[in-house]
Structure 1
């Protein structure tokens, strides 16, 4: 809607615009959409875009013969059957003056579910081609704007780069100018649109970020734990009662599952050597009135359990989550601006230090220590407690107090319109008594936080103009011996005021530059990446982003992160099993490689026991070198890599690099129990020779370690199965996963059909890995995680009969990467976002689109559970009560997106029917069935009677 309004202001004819985006999409769906369940003959007749069979036949004859044959073989003679009514192809859209708002047609897997298993290179339907040809030749568009990342045009079959006339994206789009608003943190998929659809990207901000905070019973538990630590010192006799209350609430909230995982994987053998820490002094015997989980523990174990609980609650509350969605061309303001600045400065940005660490340093604390075992107690934090106006007993308390002070800095700067000259005043106010300023100069500010934020006026800088940074000292005490103490904070706040605030204000460029491009103007170029991962310098948005020099991947910093991720995986596996894994599988994406400069690739090399080698003068890769076993001090781990289609296209040299590393290790004369790569190679070599292959062919097949999609195709094949409900067992997932991803890549070999070798490789895998490098999204925001990682887990389970260990790497803070079990990550995201009232309220601000986000979350939870088995019954119950049966949510969905309400109820009922939700409460199941029927009635009342029910 903001694009259409801006076009109207610029003089375009856009007709009578609907009130908002929800009204627009409702009008579009009511006119004609592509949901066959609720599509009526009247809507097909009333469609704005209609193409006669004769006209389409003429257009079809103009595409290359090779493409015609593929489309006819799959979809029949033109015009096919999809959305054809009375001899005409119906195209969903709204004509608004000189603009046409259309829905991109379905890809086609829903029309031929069996193709999901065997056709990753499924050609587009006749209907799909008809829309783009109609826009060009019949409606005579001058340009197309694709709104919303990850459309399907750029993923149609054809060459990865340098497309020819026989590639579907090129044939469908021809020379039509294409503009593509794209989120700045997704350089891979944006680059795909540029390479395969000649798109001009106009990037936009990530959604505004905020902290999850605790809520409901989690907030009650936080209060009880705080009370526990106070009683531990002041009145130990009350500890048994508090322990009982805590454990009861832990059971009520099902946090015992989270804690079991943390107790299993966290090491409590502390040496207590930090000046600020001390041991628990009050360990007591427990009587029979305590819960079994506590009564069976010694005092120290109970103390450590409380530590884990406190640390976990802190982690959940401090988690970065999205505060709704970004609105194109709209800058964050007030509370959202404050939270966004906190998020952007949390980590170091190039040579600008991280705010959280620098505030901790003021109190003599190291952020690394605080983030490790957050439940440990602290001493010597009186100033921190006084300034944060809260008790500080544990490391978790200290982190919360530090975060509160970080936020307070930006609240006060916001009130002062982010003037650099006010930084010292703000430091004096926030850190009163730390030698920042004369306390007599400090006057209390009585305005409330919300009032202050609403009154503060953001300084809007003109495009390209940045205010000069001034570090003028205003207070005498600052100019004395304490100046160096606050120098780092001045740099951080100066960077925020002089660069981040003006750059965030330039989100208006997102629409301004789009209109400039539509008018034939130049869209300036800019970098891409994850702004909250220490890359805030990539702002402002509104630019045609570029990605990374592939010759420098992995970078030296990525090598450091990759080594740590590899060590975390191995340490965790040894702790859980007592031994190293012999074989692991990892899925890696081109987008992540661009954002991180190759963390995943570096992890693979580290597991193999090789290191990258760079040219000193330009830091470009020259190859790899083997790390000796004496230096490595562990076995070499066999790694099977499932690359995405975009990774294949964007990083062919990294395929060669990984393959070189594998073969460098295979030929080493080392004990087989110290070189699992060579061990498995020799074993498989004998097997393939025994099956009749020549020694050369057997050697080549036994050496394959990199697999991906068939050349010219993309994806993992899992999502279409789930969307179309076309699966029954793990074997169905495995068939699709292997058929879509069983093509081998190596130096000099591009996409050899080696599905048997892929099955063999996965059959020996003990650990399935995937990594995430930022908190601007999570595993239930995208189908790619459940497809690539979940599909891998399901395939291994199908081939071996056993669930592999499934680890999930987290490098959102490159200084402190960590690895969790996938179930741990599921629980973390579930509690911090999925059922968090703060996120649920924020997403409801976005009407119809908010409903889509809710539906997607439920779909991806379901999909990851179907493939990786990560959900428990209580989680399904909570999703049902929050998303489906909550009266306020029901009202929101009925008004904004009744289709989402129907889909959510249907998906939850499917989980119960399939036994994934094994024992739903009878009243819950009955309520869901009633809601599903009610939502169908509501849709019918809109005049969208399902076919066959009229």
Structure 2
């Protein structure tokens, strides 16, 4: 007998074994695998079982295609309702009961039922009773209440953890992961209550809901018997009472008030494949992360992969990792507040200037908020010591003691003399702690930073740990991550030389000190955003050699984060196991944490559940903060409204170019970042789709089911060829978007259309005619595991001699290919081909959420394309456009128009300037950062006129009132601002009026002299010197760029 089984949940080793034993030939398909069904397969099948896979959004629809099959059983209520079954209701219910009851005997009876229907063999008995929900032991015993189980099997532990698994795992003896985790927890003195459940309530069959299972197995008298729950079930409760199933589940967890953990496993990758994968969950991130985050579940530690699709194998080291982190959460629940120790990390915006940006956090007054937290901790019984009166006093203490990393104006000797050292860690102590990390990670560290203790923040052979202590609370400025020394040049900027470089020895030593020497019980990372979640390693499903995993160790990680920065917050959750405490986002104000937000932080530090919530900006309406924020439902992107706005922008871009050039643009280069997805619901994505001539296919609920070509007759113009430069955060947070984009390109490339109507087809055909292998690679970004932009780093460190250097850095760091089956392989040749053809660069920025000068990233990317084209000898003119998204639509302007407007709305606006002057140190830092952005934009695009730059120099350096404000509140920002103007002039990027230049030089000399007068004279510093260190003089940097340079030259010869 031949049986077709549709739905991955039916494909189990047990099902295969039973059917084979019964002499049945089985064909297994996923529920979306109908393209694999042939007519012969349908005609040959005697029976079909049709189920649904996790992640299906619609009932099974192609029932008519199965009509040649005599016997069809629909499994699950939605498929039954869809009318797929050929059986009567009683018979179909019997098949469901066999499947739901499970076990070898019931599957055997199911096979014999089909034989009965097909061949008239005797009717099998009804399903054998098998528990649907139970506590279980690994030896096979079952219990219905936890108290009896603990007394008989798990007595003597000081704390207990619940582990809830799917019943199918228990039925199929697929418990390797659960066994490994239980053993690891028991070794740490933690008892475990293992239970299973179907998760699907059915009173008639006696199936409990997840809520009922949790209540029965893990509580007594309405109170938890466990300190936390590891829940392997994806979904918990049904929607109802006006709440979604996610809201109802989160409310259940909130009533329990214990952490709910959701470690990740792979049904598709073996452990060996996971080990080598840079992004193990690239194709199923939504299932493994998004769903859990919507319910407030945390700790996505990888525990195991698949042995043969449906069975799992544990990674023992990862089970130990999770057990250690569970022990950390239990400690927070058990310890008295007076005994708890915390390490609070404020941000270090290194490349913008350490001294000028202490604690810099997007939209947050970090120091004032830190004082609020310290005061709240004291009220809750924490031993905090003497708390500064306000944020200004706290920052003043940091600056006075120089309790931060060395940089241009601060040497390690100066830090030590000023009292900024918390602890000087002897090299041998660091060596002992360092020896715990894997050999592969140590090899990478030593290749980049040399043997222990390295050069970063080392004095007298000891590693300096900087910060301040308030009783049982450490306050630290996060260490520098990718450079060393009291300077900022290409020589010391290792992350420029190698974007995947590991953190310094001092970086790890700081975390080791806080964890092992000080004895911190938890981390609190403070503000958007630090560097921990951006350290090299896997995009998700981290392993022991991933540096975020190494640094965070076994300590619970609470992260205060801007509610509007959703993409990078997802990285923090998935790469540093952070519980996010989001705060309000105000475009013009620096927020101070309120009582709700500090209260959520305190609940997290008590080891309680932190409610999930949707992030967002107040520009889009009220946002409920103090939540463990989650992302967007990515299968709804783009929304219909965003698609309409984005495609309108596509037509406006094409129309403007045609009006200016008299032809269509054949190749367009776009820039895409993660912020577009939550802010605009996919306008950048929609712009891309509109240019290519593809549209989403939505269902009635707004879910995107796929992509389809817009017919040429409807499009009424050629399909554009489009390349996309993506950010690292977009790549790793929403890989599904990249797959959709790739799908759109492949649809257009496969279209049966003439070259003049489809420029993708035209370019592929031209490549074939020139003897080149056609390459459908259109989505490019940085190497896997990297998040930095080489042009930005080079500009900040003045590490470039000429425009050709910037072009090389851009081409080298942006030529990694992504898409549905493209996982970051370098393809420089394909990237160069795209640059050669590019007529237009474009981006969209949402002016509802930011302003034109808030970031230079987009301008740097567009400038990178232009400089690369110039470097490659391209003669064609490249237009640079920017779409400005407002409430009224998207207005396509030139990049120059956009940036000039941005200057007028910010730096040259008296209201904007007044607001910054009210913000003291932070306001001066913001001015400096925007001047750095102006500097970078001018270096790569020369967008601003000399007259505009003259005006900026006069208002921000030469104006006495502004100069006094900058010098008094943030002298480091004053020096940086003036020096960047002088660097623009020295590099030929600005021709100032003679009197402006003369005054500027005099003011800078006075500023520099004043800065030097305040130095202690200990140790060497760079100060105001601009040191241009060519890449050819640094062996590691030269070696890494050599292959890129050689390939560029080969490409030039082949293309000439």
Q: Same fold (TM over 0.5)?
A: yes
2:578 equivalent in structure 1: 199
Q: Higher helix fraction: Structure 1 or Structure 2? A: 1
Pairing partner for 2:646 from 554, 562, 568: 562
CA 1:750–1:685: 2 relative to 1, 3 Å: farther
CA offset at residue 18 of structure 1?
3.6
Query: 2 CA distance for matches of 1:686 and 1:175?
Result: 58
CA offset at residue 115 of structure 1?
4.6
CA offset at residue 846 of structure 1?
1.8
Deviations 1:663-715 (A, max 9, x none): 2212223221111111111112344x45xxxxxxx23xx21111111112123
2:608 equivalent in structure 1: 521
Q: Is the 8 A contact 1:584 1:639 kept in 2?
A: yes
1:923 equivalent in structure 2: 995
Query: 2 CA distance for matches of 1:714 and 1:854?
Result: 25
1:48 and 2:427 equivalent?
Answer: no
SS of 1:808's partner is: strand
1:807 equivalent in structure 2: 881
Query: 2 CA distance for matches of 1:588 and 1:789?
Result: 11
CA 1:759–1:665: 2 relative to 1, 3 Å: same
Query: 2 CA distance for matches of 1:137 and 1:670?
Result: 65
CA 1:937–1:25: 2 relative to 1, 3 Å: farther
CA offset at residue 204 of structure 1?
1.7
1:38 and 2:415 equivalent?
Answer: no
1:16 equivalent in structure 2: 386
Q: Is the 8 A contact 2:496 2:793 kept in 1?
A: no
CA offset at residue 527 of structure 1?
0.9
1:536 and 2:621 equivalent?
Answer: yes
CA offset at residue 947 of structure 1?
4.4
2:660 equivalent in structure 1: 576
SS of 1:48's partner is: strand
1:587 equivalent in structure 2: 671
1:733 equivalent in structure 2: 806
SS of 2:824's partner is: strand
CA offset at residue 54 of structure 1?
0.7
Query: 2 CA distance for matches of 1:611 and 1:932?
Result: 55
CA offset at residue 587 of structure 1?
1.1
Q: Which runs of 5+ in 2 are unaligned?
A: 1-367, 1024-1056
Query: 2 CA distance for matches of 1:785 and 1:944?
Result: 40
Q: Is the 8 A contact 2:369 2:592 kept in 1?
A: yes
1:86 equivalent in structure 2: 460
Query: 1 CA distance for matches of 2:768 and 2:540?
Result: 35
Query: 2 CA distance for matches of 1:2 and 1:605?
Result: 43
CA offset at residue 783 of structure 1?
4.1
CA offset at residue 34 of structure 1?
2.4
1:452 equivalent in structure 2: none
CA 1:584–1:625: 2 relative to 1, 3 Å: same
CA 1:798–1:779: 2 relative to 1, 3 Å: farther
CA offset at residue 19 of structure 1?
4.5
SS of 2:889's partner is: coil
Q: Is the 8 A contact 2:642 2:686 kept in 1?
A: yes
Structure 1 segment 206-221 matched on structure 2, within 5 A: 206-207=585-586
1:600 equivalent in structure 2: 684
CA offset at residue 586 of structure 1?
0.4
Q: Is the 8 A contact 2:558 2:581 kept in 1?
A: yes
CA 1:663–1:621: 2 relative to 1, 3 Å: same
SS of 1:144's partner is: strand
Structure 1 segment 810-849 matched on structure 2, within 5 A: 810-813=884-887, 815-849=888-922
Q: Is the 8 A contact 2:738 2:819 kept in 1?
A: yes
Query: 2 CA distance for matches of 1:57 and 1:206?
Result: 42
Query: 1 CA distance for matches of 2:410 and 2:520?
Result: 27
CA offset at residue 826 of structure 1?
0.7
Deviations 1:547-576 (A, max 9, x none): 111122222222112211111111111121
More displaced stretch, 762-771 vs 176-185: 176-185
2:475 equivalent in structure 1: 101
Query: 1 CA distance for matches of 2:602 and 2:890?
Result: 41
Q: Which runs of 5+ in 1 are unaligned?
A: 209-321, 330-506, 691-697
SS of 1:526's partner is: strand
CA 1:724–1:542: 2 relative to 1, 3 Å: same
2:597 equivalent in structure 1: 510
1:862 and 2:947 equivalent?
Answer: no
CA offset at residue 930 of structure 1?
2.3
Query: 2 CA distance for matches of 1:900 and 1:86?
Result: 31
Pairing partner for 1:141 from 520, 526, 550: 520
Pairing partner for 2:541 from 162, 177, 182: 162
CA 1:851–1:802: 2 relative to 1, 3 Å: farther
2:863 equivalent in structure 1: 790
Q: Higher strand fraction: Structure 1 or Structure 2? A: 2
Q: Is the 8 A contact 1:118 1:740 kept in 2?
A: no
CA 1:545–1:803: 2 relative to 1, 3 Å: farther
Structure 1 segment 90-489 matched on structure 2, within 5 A: 90-109=464-483, 110=488, 112=491, 115=494, 119-207=498-586, 322=588, 325-329=589-593
Deviations 1:813-863 (A, max 9, x none): 2x4221111111111110111121211111122221111111101000111
Q: Is the 8 A contact 2:696 2:707 kept in 1?
A: yes
CA 1:55–1:592: 2 relative to 1, 3 Å: same
CA offset at residue 948 of structure 1?
4.5
1:7 and 2:374 equivalent?
Answer: yes
1:432 equivalent in structure 2: none
More displaced stretch, 59-68 vs 795-804: 795-804
1:263 equivalent in structure 2: none
CA offset at residue 597 of structure 1?
2.1
Deviations 1:650-671 (A, max 9, x none): 2222222222211221222322
Q: Is the 8 A contact 1:53 1:89 kept in 2?
A: yes
CA offset at residue 522 of structure 1?
3.1
Query: 1 CA distance for matches of 2:965 and 2:456?
Result: 33
Query: 2 CA distance for matches of 1:938 and 1:14?
Result: 37
Structure 1 segment 494-509 matched on structure 2, within 5 A: 507-509=594-596
Structure 1 segment 719-798 matched on structure 2, within 5 A: 719-798=792-871
Q: Is the 8 A contact 2:668 2:723 kept in 1?
A: yes
SS of 2:675's partner is: helix
CA 1:685–1:842: 2 relative to 1, 3 Å: same
CA offset at residue 129 of structure 1?
1.1
Q: Is the 8 A contact 1:614 1:623 kept in 2?
A: yes
Query: 2 CA distance for matches of 1:662 and 1:643?
Result: 15
2:441 equivalent in structure 1: 67
Pairing partner for 1:942 from 1014, 1031, 1034: 1014
SS of 2:705's partner is: strand
1:636 and 2:694 equivalent?
Answer: no
SS of 1:751's partner is: strand
Deviations 1:154-185 (A, max 9, x none): 11111111111111101111122222222221
SS of 2:838's partner is: coil
Q: Is the 8 A contact 1:516 1:522 kept in 2?
A: yes
1:674 and 2:782 equivalent?
Answer: no
CA offset at residue 189 of structure 1?
1.0
CA 1:802–1:733: 2 relative to 1, 3 Å: farther
SS of 2:989's partner is: coil
CA 1:903–1:23: 2 relative to 1, 3 Å: farther
Query: 2 CA distance for matches of 1:948 and 1:160?
Result: 38
Q: Is the 8 A contact 1:793 1:803 kept in 2?
A: no
Query: 2 CA distance for matches of 1:36 and 1:142?
Result: 30
CA 1:554–1:922: 2 relative to 1, 3 Å: same
CA offset at residue 895 of structure 1?
1.8
Query: 2 CA distance for matches of 1:622 and 1:686?
Result: 36
1:658 and 2:704 equivalent?
Answer: no
1:896 and 2:983 equivalent?
Answer: no
